[in-house]
Amino acid sequence: MTTRERYEELKNLLNEHSYKYYVLDDPDITDEQYDKLMRELTDIEKANPDYVTADSPSQKVGGVVLDGFETVTHTVPMQSLQDAFSFDELKDFDTRVRGVLGDRGEYCVEQKIDGLSVSLEYVNSVFTRGSTRGDGITGEDVTENLKTVKSIPLKLRVDVPYLEVRGEVFISKPDFAKINATREENGESTFANPRNAAAGSLRQLNSAVAAKRNLDIFVFNIQQIEGREISSHLEGLEFLRQCGFKVISNDKGFSTIEDAYAEIERIGSIRRDLYYDIDGAVIKVNELSHREELGTTAKTPRWAIAYKYPAEKQKTKVKDITVAVGRTGVLTPAAELEPVLIAGSTVSRATLHNIDFIRSKDIRIGDTVVIQKAGDIIPEVVEVVADERTGSEVEFNMPETCPDCGAKVHREEGEAAYRCTGVDCPAQAIRNIIHFVSRDAMDIEGLGPQIIEKLVENKLISNSADLYYMDRESLANLDKMGDKSADNILSALEKSKSNGMVRLLYALGIRHIGAGSSKLIAKRFGSINALFDATVEELSSIGDIGGIMAQSVVDFFAEPHTREFIDKLSHAGVSMEYIAEEGSDNRFEGKTFVLTGTLENYGRKEAGAIIEKFGGKVSGSVSKNTDYVLAGEAAGSKLKKATELGVAVISEQEFEDMIK
């Protein structure tokens, strides 16, 4: 078998296994076996890049970075549905349908997924374009992000010249909960429901981010088709299954609106147990010829209607409001509730997000509140029952010091979050240590996240400074460590002591202070100890160091914990002084670059590192303060703005001439 033949065989094998795993939920090989086949395929593609086609499973991993999304005009409008909230409204719908069709025809009933509606287009059975619904007429091209959805076939299992289908991209309940938990820990705003999460994921300009969100899809309609005649909705759904799509629907029709409503009630009874979120059920006329007779309005079809289930709500009492510290130092308040059964589970706690949320709803300790589950998953406080107040309720205020370490709590102007400023706060320990040892910080090889977690769990360290006091025997006795690995880590720690102030300052993880600003501050002050007496005015006088950054540095070094931490590092022999780079070349000092498009010889991160190495600054947006826009192939809106503002645009060749 030739390499090309093996490559085609691997593509077919992997696509078949993906179909069985993600669509049929019936895998016949292990994850390890699948990964082995995928590695073999990607190895062949690396050696033979001309082999790669649009239907290769490797195209699902993401990694494409866009400047923006192109506009797509839908040939077949992606209409919305009329909503119904009662059986009487469904009977009115049935009366209108029967007024045209009489006793002819039947209904289909299917679950209404709470996600984001998209169009998928296939030419000669290969996925060529995916777009959002937008306003129904115009959407956005999100092809690269949709390629990462593992349940979307890149090549259909049936030969068809052209096919456009409509589906609903969603995030499962477990994944939605994980995403929100991570965002809350990182001090980011949480998604209100699975639909918002799916929409936010599909609009990521970096498809690698979308790939991490575990997006899924159910396809529910044929928009356009060539080379095949379809006469009914149920026939179309069966064809979509044959194509390899994940389809959700009943396989039978209902002759009366009463029977259709009984199916809606059945779906409502099981919706809490589904792994995905639905907010209703949809009734559709089955026969496509009957749909043509019924027609559409400007916004909605006359042959379909969406029944919306009411959200379940319950009353309970707020026993207390507690505060937890996340891994990024964000303090998050939560309501401790009298336990209450809602949406199939007992709820005794609900996040209150931040102080602004608490104030906007006027939530007090002792209040009676109405709660529901956002997206039927995350408990949330909907409103306060003010009429049931007794006067004994207590207003809540955020603490002035961290409940975990006692350091000062700070809220920056314009932000909702309160943050702990403690350098050795135990709640942030693992994250802070991971940052401390990272490549751009102290660059300590051998200390990956898993090893750091073990060190903390085994109480060998509690903060970054403790790393320099570990003994060889305790380190070597860690699970899967050994003498050689312990020696390598201790050697890397010893080497890092001479890194100097620039790396150390960045390693401290001061909010708003990156690697570039650490270098500027280090050059100006000369030593870490000098920063204990630095003022906001002195720091702000440094170019590119703004008032917020300056205040952040001052606040950090004003904390007693910081002095203890720095002293511990100093006693271990870690250099606190600025070390000028030998033969340093600052040819780009004071210059700001913006990168756009695809460069032939450099990744964006690599080009940015070169610019910063020569003292320049890389920005993500073009403004009148931009000095150069480095434009590669397929440069987008940034190039256009640079031209409008008269900013110098340089090619990759010109950039290489500048860095020789």
Provide the CATH number for the domain around residue 616: 3.40.50.10190
| Same domain membership, residue 171 and residue 26 | no
Residue with the two structure tokens 């509690």:
462
Which residues share a beta bridge with 612? none
Of 270, 286, 308, the residue that ends a domain is 308
| Residue 414 lies inside a defined structural domain of this protein | no
What is the mean predicted confidence (pLDDT) over 72-88? Answer: 91
Q: Which of 308, 332, 350 marks a domain boundary?
A: 308
Q: Which of 112, 147, 246, 284 is catalytic?
A: 112
Q: Tell me how many domains the chain contains.
A: 5
Average pLDDT of the segment spanning 235-254 = 90
What does the alpha-carbon distance between residue 204 and residue 527 come to, in Å, rounded to a whole number?
A: 41
The segment with the largest mean pLDDT, out of 158-167, 451-460, 548-557, is 158-167
Residue in the block written with tokens 């009115």: 92
CATH at residue 338: 2.40.50.140
Model pLDDT, residue 298: 78
User: Cα 304 to chain center, whole Å?
Assistant: 33
Determine the Cα–Cα distance for residues 53 and 127; give it in Å rounded to an integer: 11
| 607 and 567 co-located in one domain | no
Q: Do 301 and 354 fall within a single domain?
A: no
**Does residue 192 sit in the same domain as residue 250?**
yes
Same domain, 233 and 301: yes
Backbone angles phi, psi at 555, to 5 degrees: -60, -40
Looking at residue 231, what is its pLDDT?
94
Query: Does one domain contain both 245 and 190?
Result: yes
pLDDT at 599 exceeding the cut of 90: no
Does the pLDDT at position 3 exceed 70? yes
Beta strands in 396-527 (DSSP E): 409-410, 418-420
Answer yes or no: 497 catalytic. Answer: no
Alpha helical stretches, state H, 541-583:
547-558, 560-571
CA–chain centroid gap for 511, Å, is 22
Statement: residue 186 has pLDDT above 80: no
More confident residue, 230 or 62: 230
457 neighbors 514 (Cβ within 8 angstroms): no
Assess if residue 538 is contained within a domain: yes
Task: Output DSSP code: residue 595.
Answer: E
Residue 135 in this model has a pLDDT that exceeds 90: no
Q: Same structural domain for residues 152 and 219?
A: yes
Cross-strand bridge partners of residue 280: 112, 308
Tokens of 441: 């910080």
CA distances from 640 to 67, 71, 76, 207, 620 (A): 11, 17, 31, 23, 14
Q: Do 379 and 437 share a domain, yes or no? A: no
| In the chain, % of residues over pLDDT 70 | 95
Terminal alpha carbon distance of the chain: 47
- Taking alpha carbons only, the member of 347, 323, 344, 318 closest to residue 333 is 323
Paired sense of beta strands 648-650 and 378-384, if any:
unpaired
Q: Average per-residue pLDDT in the chain?
A: 87
Task: Give the mean model confidence (pLDDT) for residues 477-498.
Answer: 90
User: Which CATH number covers residue 152?
Assistant: 3.30.470.30
Q: Where are the beta strands (DSSP E) in 353-434?
A: 364-365, 368-374, 378-384, 394-395, 409-410, 418-420
In this predicted structure, what is the pLDDT of residue 88? 93
Q: Write out the H or E segment, with its range, that includes residue 179.
A: helix 173-185
Domain that holds residue 275: 83-308
Same domain for 272 and 385? no
Measured in whole angstroms, the distance separating CA 469 from the mean position of its chain's CA atoms is 37
**Structural tokens at position 148:** 């990462």
pTM equals: 0.55
Q: Measure the CA–CA gap between 286 and 218, rounded to whole angstroms.
A: 18
Instruction: Give me the mean pLDDT over the 206-233 stretch.
Output: 91
Reading the block at residue 284, the tokens are: 């559709």
Q: Are residues 544 and 520 in the same domain?
A: yes
CB 412 within 8 A of CB 548: yes
**In the beta sheet, which residues pair with residue 51?**
none
Confidence of residue 62 (pLDDT cuts 50, 70, 90): low
Residue 590 has pLDDT above 70, yes or no: yes
Q: Do residues 259 and 321 both lie within one domain?
A: no
Q: Contact 577/562 with Cβ under 8 angstroms?
A: no
In a domain, 583, yes or no: no
150 plus 261 within the same structural domain: yes
Report pLDDT digits (tens) over 246-258.
998 778 899 999 9
553 lies in some domain: yes
